[in-house]
Amino acid sequence: MSTFLKAILFVVAWLVFAFATFTFCIEPECCGVRGDGIVDEEIIDPPPAVSNDYAIVSRLNDQEVLDGALWPALRDQLLGEYRENPDQELDIYGHYYAGEPAPEGFENMGFYRAEEIKKLLVPDIPADKIVTLSRRLDTAKPGADELWVAGTFNWQEVDGGGGGPAPIIELDSNEIIIRFPFDADTKQVAPAVDSYLGKLAERLKLTDENVSITGHTDNVDTDAYNLRLGQRRADFVRDILVRKGAPADRITTKSDGESNPTATNGTSAGRQLNRRAVVRLNE
């Protein structure tokens, strides 16, 4: 067959194929062609908008706290309850999940979120009437973009009796009780505590006495978290003694967590009594 004839047959075959393709590709979906002849890329539906039908929400590993659709009503409710009884105290529990990074200056993300929520209420509710706490959530972690409830609220009756707040330091023969503010292991030392620990360190230099320090907490947060928090409190006091010259090998620390309260955890004053480190002198 001549080259010319082969060329003629090739052209005829190509025309037949093109005609068949055009005839059977009528619907745009068949070949990705719109009615105007322009080829479309695959169309992907956009993700649904994230709903914020909550009061206070956040996202995993995100410091930002958002007020949702239900926040105005909840805020009005909280303000109304405060006006009815201005002597009560509002506890704000900031929620967090294990593994979330703690912002600088905060024990965990929960405390940070509680402080951010507090800003939404002050000054309508005085700052000294609000206690910020943290609560770790043990449910399955949400997705990165999923909104979830970032905080809860609870009113507490403040104990009366005119006794005032519990002292930060309390002496009882060979025992000293050091109390901690709110739920955190403090970064500052009250002058009375610093003075007593200085005297105790000097005494330990001159004697063979041993010291045991036990850290305690209230019942806010989980048992495991409170056990660690109690240990940090005990270690915090030990480190002060060592810096003041007390022999480190004669100081032991442990934590009882929330297992040994000295007062009820149902009131603010009771929880304050339970947040403590007990220092005991042993022969």
Is the CA virtual torsion 268, 270, 274, 278 positive or negative?
Answer: positive
What does the pLDDT look like over 146-203, one tens digit per residue? Answer: 998 898 888 876 654 444 445 565 665 567 888 876 444 455 667 777 888 888 899 8
Q: How far, in Å, are 70, 143, 181 from residue 4 at the CA level? A: 82, 67, 99
The answer, yes or no, to whether residue 41 has pLDDT greater than 50, is no
Is the CB of residue 225 less than 8 Å from the CB of residue 243?
Answer: no
DSSP codes of every residue in 127-194: GGGEEEEEEEE-SPPPPTT--EE-EEEEEEPPP-SS--SPPSEEEETTEEEEE-STTSPPSS--HHHH
Q: How confident is the model at residue 89 (pLDDT cuts 50, 70, 90)?
A: confident
Work out the average pLDDT over 211-234: 89
Q: For residues 18 and 229, which has the higher predicted lDDT (pLDDT)?
A: 229
Residue (of 133, 129, 132, 134) closest to 89 by Cα position:
129
The answer, yes or no, to whether residue 277 has pLDDT greater than 50, is yes
Q: CATH number of 52-158: 3.40.640.10, 3.40.50.10490, 3.30.499.10, 3.30.1330.60?
A: 3.30.1330.60
Say how far apart CA 37 and CA 42 lie, in whole Å. 15
DSSP classification of residue 210 = E
What does the pLDDT look like over 230-274, one tens digit per residue? Answer: 999 999 899 999 999 999 999 999 999 999 888 877 777 778 888
DSSP codes of every residue in 25-44: --SHHHHTB-TTSPBPPPP-
pLDDT of residue 33: 38
- Mean pLDDT is lowest, of 2-11, 46-55, 118-127, 150-159, for 46-55
pLDDT of residue 152: 87
Is the CA virtual torsion 185, 216, 222, 235 positive or negative?
Answer: positive
Which regions of the chain carry the CATH code 3.30.1330.60?
52-158, 165-282
Using left for φ > 0, alpha for ψ between -120 and 50, and beta otherwise, residue 262 falls in: alpha
Work out the average pLDDT over 31-60: 53
Q: Which SS3 state, helix, strand or coil, does residue 100 take?
A: coil
CATH code, residues 165-282: 3.30.1330.60
